[in-house]
Amino acid sequence: MTTRDSVTVAVRVKPGSAKVRVGGRFEGPYGPALVIAVHQPAVDGRATEAARRSLAEALRVRPAAVTLRTGAASRDKLFLVDGPGPLIDARLRRLRDGSAE
């Protein structure tokens, strides 16, 4: 979902990964989700925080522009990203789907 100044991004987090990676697609409960693999374990919100920061870096926004909407205790999450919707949408499509179309 996109508004002029924010985008809701569905994410599938893979905690405890050997390699940090942002990219790929997962058909999750919120629709097509961006896959984010992080080193941190799924304990005390550490994986969620690492995913939030990784998402911000990948979308080239400041970490404070990314907030968790739902999914604190789940691998499937929704983040709200503040910023220009069309630009964020294009970056998201490139990361999730491999295209900017």
How many CA atoms lie less than 13 Å away from 46 in the CB half-sphere? 10
Stated pTM of the model: 0.92
In a domain, 1, yes or no: no
In a domain, 17, yes or no: yes
Answer for the pair 38, 21: CB distance below 8 angstroms, yes or no.
no
Q: By residue range, what is the domain housing residue 93?
A: 6-97
Q: What is the CATH number of the domain that holds 28?
A: 3.30.1200.10
In a domain, 54, yes or no: yes
pLDDT digits (tens, 9 = 90+) for 37-96: 999 999 999 999 999 999 999 999 999 999 999 999 999 999 999 998 899 999 999 999
Please count the structural domains in the chain: 1
Look at the block and give the residue holding tokens 């002029």. Answer: 4
In a domain, 62, yes or no: yes
Answer for the pair 87, 79: CB distance below 8 angstroms, yes or no.
no
Count of other CB atoms within 10 angstroms of residue 88: 21
